[in-house]
Amino acid sequence: MDKRLLGQGLEVSAIGLGCMSLSGAYGDALSITAAADLLRAAYDRGITFFDTAEIYGPFLNEKQLGKGLGPIRDKVVIATKFGFKLVEGEATAQGMDSRPEHIRAVCDASLERLGTDHIDLFYQHRVDPDVPIEDVAGTVAELIREGKVRHFGLSEADPVTIRRAHAVQPVTALQSEYSLWTRNIEAEVLPTLRELGIGLVPYSPLGRGFLTGSVKPDTVREGDFRHTMPRFSGEAGAHNFRLVEALQKLAEEKGCTAGQLALAWVLHQGDDVVPIPGTRRVERLEENIAAVDLALSASDFAAIEAVFPKDAVQGGRYR
Distances (CA, A) of 15 to 65, 150, 164, 209, 227: 17, 20, 28, 16, 27
CA dist 116 and 122 (Å) reads 14
Active-site pick, 26, 56, 123, 203 = 56
- CA atoms of 48 and 55, how far apart (whole Å): 22
- Per the annotation, the verdict on 56 as an active-site residue is yes
State the chain's maximal CA–CA distance in angstroms: 54
Give the DSSP H or E segment for 103: helix 100-114
Which residues, in sequence order, are CB contacts of 85 under 8 Å at separation 6+?
A: 93, 94, 95, 96, 97, 102
Return the ∠ at Cα 39 (arms to 85 and 267), rounded to 5°: 85
Give the active site residues: 56
